[in-house]
């Protein structure tokens, strides 16, 4: 899983987790439900924060809106209370209401006290717009698809064009779901930091792969009269940012919601290392949670005993987050496969675009790109 080699010029010296996925954080699982039907290419991805009841055992959490061109649900209460009390659902923009219904139904079924003897529940749904590839007006995602994604959740999961990532485009190439993890050693203990992204942003020439200007190589390959994707060369290279990216960060490091907010802010560093510049029309949102402390919904005592890392020990965590976010974006590209969009155009994946460019031009930069992708030059 993940990229075949360590990132060139990695900002962090932390090692990867065993799976190199967000699920290296104990208790975290991920599931997809993918819809591929005619002009529809969309779906739902669900991140389960732990293996218990998230409403009864809430987790410290925070969110940071890097650029707010988005239609998410649940962020206001997270910002106010600093806790996560449901799974996290990812989907397309117009399916946020359906996914919210699905999460609410799932939580009501497991918690008969919600809305009766206790308060209501705060579903968390985040989105990107897959309308360039999928018929978003079809409203194909149904509430029950959230339950199906939850039922499929596990430690191992697919990346690329699956679940919520089925119709996403990243840097003019096929994007979608990507994940990575890092291992932190502090206070004599080992901890995991995992990241999952839903990538749907960027212009092709801006793409960086391990510091290499891969997008410019692909956009200006010899004989390149068209961009290596379903979008026109003008759209792929004009620099207008109309996409979005969702970043979910999980860790078992004992961090407060205030510290998790600081962690979220470092997601932008990882995005920038892949070439992102956070455009006017893009939506970038980061959400982070820690599994180290449980915040019980019901408690007889007046005080909670919560463990917390010192602020002056956060720098290695910030570095690891930047590194994991960078690799997760690249992993979404690496694992995606070439598809045909709703209008019959080809949306090429990074691997196929690199092979095509290498077959047309024999050059050192292309060979370097192929090597960094773990691919043999044709």
**Residue 205 is encoded by which pair of tokens?**
């020439």
More confident residue, 2 or 120: 120
- Whether 244 sits among the annotated catalytic residues: the reply is yes
Cα 347 from chain centroid? 20
- Are 96 and 71 spatial neighbours (Cβ–Cβ below 8 Å)? yes
Q: With pLDDT > 90 as the criterion, what percentage of the chain qualifies?
A: 78
Which position among 284, 326, 331, 332 bears the catalytic label? 284
Tell me the CATH architecture of domain 26-169+178-195+248-338: 4-Layer Sandwich (3.60)
Output phi, psi for 59, to 5 deg.
-120, 145
Cα 194 from chain centroid? 10
DSSP 244: E
Sheet holding 124-128, edge to edge: 29-37, 40-48, 88-92, 124-128
Please give the helix or strand (H or E) that residue 105 lies within, else none: helix 96-110
- 91 in the Ramachandran plot: left (φ > 0), alpha (ψ -120 to 50) or beta? beta
State how beta strands 29-37 and 40-48 pair: antiparallel
**176-202: average pLDDT:** 97
Which position among 12, 282, 323, 331 bears the catalytic label? 282
- Of 353, 349, 373, 377, the closest CA to residue 161 belongs to 349
User: With b meaning 16 or more CB within 10 Å and e meaning fewer, what string describes 58-83?
Assistant: bbbbbbbbbbebbbbbbbebbeeebb
More confident residue, 103 or 378: 103
The answer to whether the Cα torsion of 207, 16, 174, 137 is positive or negative is negative
Q: Say whether pLDDT at 1 is over 90.
A: no
Q: Say whether pLDDT at 236 is over 60.
A: no
Q: Say whether pLDDT at 226 is over 60.
A: no
- Of 378, 368, 323, 330, the closest CA to residue 350 belongs to 330
More confident residue, 318 or 233: 318
Please give the helix or strand (H or E) that residue 143 lies within, else none: helix 143-151
pLDDT tens for 326-338 read 999 999 999 999 9
Q: Say whether pLDDT at 238 is over 80.
A: no
pLDDT confidence of residue 208: 94
Residue with tokens 């932008």: 268
**Alpha carbon distance 90, 185 (integer Å):** 31
**Alpha carbon distance 80, 94 (integer Å):** 26
**58-76: average pLDDT:** 97
The stretches of 62-95 forming alpha helices (DSSP H) are 75-81
Q: What are the distances in angstroms from CA 81 to CA 17, 62, 63, 322? A: 30, 9, 11, 26
- Whether 282 sits among the annotated catalytic residues: the reply is yes
Which position among 12, 244, 290, 331 bears the catalytic label? 244
**175-180: average pLDDT:** 98
State how beta strands 173-174 and 189-200 pair: unpaired
**Alpha carbon distance 214, 217 (integer Å):** 5
More confident residue, 192 or 360: 192
**Alpha carbon distance 124, 77 (integer Å):** 10
State how beta strands 57-68 and 40-48 pair: unpaired
Residue with tokens 């920038």: 272
**Alpha carbon distance 65, 75 (integer Å):** 9
Question: Is 0.75 surpassed by the pTM of this model?
Answer: yes
Query: Collapsing DSSP states into helix, strand and coil, what is residue 164?
Result: helix
**Alpha carbon distance 249, 6 (integer Å):** 20
Q: What are the distances in angstroms from CA 309 to CA 107, 123, 160, 254? A: 31, 28, 34, 6
Q: How confident is the prediction for the chain on average, in pLDDT? A: 91
pLDDT confidence of residue 9: 76
pLDDT tens for 81-103 read 999 999 999 999 999 999 999 99
The answer to whether the Cα torsion of 285, 347, 2, 10 is positive or negative is negative
pLDDT confidence of residue 362: 56
More confident residue, 369 or 50: 50
Q: Which of 59-68, 80-89, 137-146, 207-216 has the lowest mean pLDDT?
A: 207-216
């Amino acid at each position: 899983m993940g990229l075949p080699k360590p990132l060139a010029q990695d900002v962090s010296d932390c090692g990867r987790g065993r799976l190199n996925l967000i699920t290296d954080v104990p208790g975290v699982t991920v599931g997809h439900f993918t819809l591929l039907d005619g002009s529809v290419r969309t779906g739902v991805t669900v991140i389960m924060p732990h293996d218990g009841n998230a409403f009864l055992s809430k987790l410290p959490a925070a969110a940071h809106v890097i650029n707010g061109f988005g239609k998410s649900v649940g962020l206001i209460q997270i910002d106010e209370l600093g806790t996560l009390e449901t799974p996290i659902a990812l989907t397309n923009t117009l399916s946020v209401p359906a996914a919210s219904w699905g999460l609410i139904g799932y939580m009501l079924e497991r918690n008969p006290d919600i809305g009766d003897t206790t308060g209501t529940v705060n579903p968390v749904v985040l989105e990107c717009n897959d309308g360039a590839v999928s018929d978003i007006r079809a409203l194909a995602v149904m509430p029950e698809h959230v339950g199906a994604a939850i039922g499929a959740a596990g430690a191992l999961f697919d990346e690329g064009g699956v679940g919520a990532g089925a119709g996403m485009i990243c840097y003019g190439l096929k994007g979608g779901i990507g994940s990575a993890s890092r291992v932190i050693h502090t206070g004599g203990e080992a901890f995991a930091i995992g990241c999952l992204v839903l990538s749907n942003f960027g212009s092709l020439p801006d793409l960086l792969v391990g510091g290499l200007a891969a997008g410019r190589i692909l956009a200006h390959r010899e004989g390149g009269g068209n961009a290596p994707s379903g979008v026109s060369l003008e759209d792929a290279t004009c620099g207008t940012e109309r996409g979005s990216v969702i970043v979910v960060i999980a860790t078992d490091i004992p961090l407060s919601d205030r510290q998790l907010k600081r962690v979220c802010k470092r997601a932008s560093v990882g995005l920038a290392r892949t070439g992102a510049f956070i455009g006017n029309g893009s939506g970038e949102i980061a959400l982070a949670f820690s599994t180290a402390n449980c915040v019980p919904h019901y408690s007889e005592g007046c005080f909670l005993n919560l463990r917390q890392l010192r602020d002056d020990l956060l720098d290695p965590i910030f570095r690891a987050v930047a590194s994991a976010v960078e690799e997760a974006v690249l992993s979404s590209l690496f694992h995606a496969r070439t598809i045909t969009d709703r209008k019959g155009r080809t949306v090429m994946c990074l691997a196929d675009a690199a092979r095509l460019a290498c077959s047309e031009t024999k050059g050192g930069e292309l060979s370097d790109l192929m090597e960094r992708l773990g691919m043999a030059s044709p």
